[in-house]
């Protein structure tokens, strides 16, 4: 009986050890072994990530930070443009290693992905034509609102139930730029978009827009990884803290925004 019990216990220990081995997180080691990290991004999302019209290269705040992280990992950075509406499908199909492009941290995304510490703070805002004289969202009742399909603007709008119900129509666009161009041409009456993007386009294109002071949702940006890729997530977290401490994040932020708007560590997250 004792021999039988000993055998069963030994078998259970072997199975437990095998299970632990089978579930070993090799996400970081896989990146190091292949010498490359593939970041998925919407390449029409300035100033976070976009195609430079003069050089044809993908540039932006997120690109600079990701490139610095890749350098510190001693691997190559590959920027892979994707449809923002299918970003999680691309991630889970292993077409990309991470979603690194002004991705808002939401409860739903925390359930389906492993997400880095917040690195930028953002707001969802309403952009309108200056000539229309709109100063508050209530004046958009019965009007058409544009937003990017698959973006957190959709969730912010869903949360503002009364405002959403007052609208005549919600028009989805593939890109924020397309939505803002349609606003400029009179196709929609307002666009719900990240304040970082709104201010960038307003300055760059000198559009006759104003950004309403009332925000629909305060947000934070994070980097998305596959749910089980904890080792890779924690390594990127550590690099973000390292770049915050040595001033690299500050320099990159000042390059793109004129000031340091990064928030790494402000929520008290421990450096991994």
20 pLDDT more than 60: no
11 pLDDT more than 70: no
CATH class of 122-219: alpha beta
Q: How confident is the model at residue 258 (pLDDT cuts 50, 70, 90)?
A: confident
What is the spatial distance between Cα 193 and Cα 105, in angstroms, rounded to a whole number?
Answer: 15
Three-state SS for 214-229 is EEEEEEEEEEEEECCC
The whole-chain average pLDDT of the chain stands at 89
More confident of the two residues 11 and 258: 258
Burial of 178 (0-12, 13-18, 19+ CB in 10 A): middle
3 pLDDT more than 80: no
| Predicted pLDDT of residue 39 | 98
Which fold, 26-121+220-256?
Answer: D-Maltodextrin-Binding Protein; domain 2 (3.40.190)
What is the number of alpha carbons within 13 Å of residue 235 lying toward its C-beta? 21
| Predicted pLDDT of residue 2 | 42
Q: How confident is the model at residue 270 (pLDDT cuts 50, 70, 90)?
A: low
Q: Domain-by-domain residue ranges, the chain?
A: 26-121+220-256, 122-219
222 pLDDT more than 70: yes
Structure tokens at 190: 């307002």
* DSSP per position, 167-183: -SEEEEESSHHHHHHHH
User: Residue range 241-257: average pLDDT?
Assistant: 95
User: Residue range 137-147: average pLDDT?
Assistant: 97
CB 118 within 8 A of CB 264: yes
What is the spatial distance between Cα 252 and Cα 171, in angstroms, rounded to a whole number?
Answer: 34
Share of the chain above pLDDT 90, in %: 74
Is 208 strand, coil or helix? coil
Share of the chain above pLDDT 70, in %: 89
Q: Any idea which of 89-103, 143-157, 204-218, 223-237 has the lowest mean pLDDT?
A: 204-218
> Using the 8-state DSSP alphabet, how is residue 187 labeled?
S
Answer left, alpha or beta for residue 126, where phi above 0 means left and psi between -120 and 50 means alpha: beta
Q: Any idea which of 45-49, 98-102, 228-232, 256-260 has the lowest mean pLDDT?
A: 256-260
* pTM score of the predicted model: 0.76
10 pLDDT more than 80: no
212 pLDDT more than 70: yes
163-201 pLDDT, tens digit per residue, is: 999 999 999 999 898 999 999 999 999 999 998 888 887
- The β-bridge partners of 81 are 41
User: Residue range 126-143: average pLDDT?
Assistant: 96
């Amino acid at each position: 009986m004792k021999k039988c019990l000993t055998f069963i216990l030994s078998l259970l220990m072997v199975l437990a050890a095998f299970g632990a081995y089978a579930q070993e997180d090799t996400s970081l080691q896989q990146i190091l072994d292949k010498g490359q990290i593939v970041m998925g991004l919407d390449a029409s999302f300035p100033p976070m990530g976009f195609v430079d019209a003069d050089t044809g290269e993908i540039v932006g705040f997120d690109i600079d930070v990701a490139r610095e992280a890749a350098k510190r990992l001693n691997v190559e950075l590959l920027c892979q443009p994707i449809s923002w509406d299918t970003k999680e499908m691309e991630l889970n199909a292993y077409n990309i290693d991470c979603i690194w492009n002004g991705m808002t941290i939401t409860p739903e995304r925390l359930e389906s992905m492993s997400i880095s510490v917040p690195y930028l703070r953002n707001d969802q805002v309403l952009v309108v034509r200056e000539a229309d004289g709109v100063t508050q969202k209530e004046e958009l009742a019965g009007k058409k609102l544009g937003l990017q399909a698959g973006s957190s603007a959709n969730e912010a709008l869903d949360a503002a139930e009364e405002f959403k119900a007052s609208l005549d129509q919600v028009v989805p666009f593939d890109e924020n730029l397309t939505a803002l161009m349609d606003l400029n041409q009179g196709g929609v009456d307002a666009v719900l978009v990240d304040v970082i993007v709104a201010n960038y386009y307003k300055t760059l294109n000198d559009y006759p827009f104003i950004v309403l002071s009332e925000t629909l949702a305060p947000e934070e940006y994070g980097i998305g990884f596959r749910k089980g890729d904890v080792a890779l997530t924690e390594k990127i977290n550590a690099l973000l803290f390292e770049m915050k401490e040595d001033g690299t994040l500050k320099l990159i932020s000042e390059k793109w925004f004129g000031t340091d708007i990064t928030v790494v560590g402000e929520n008290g997250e421990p450096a991994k």
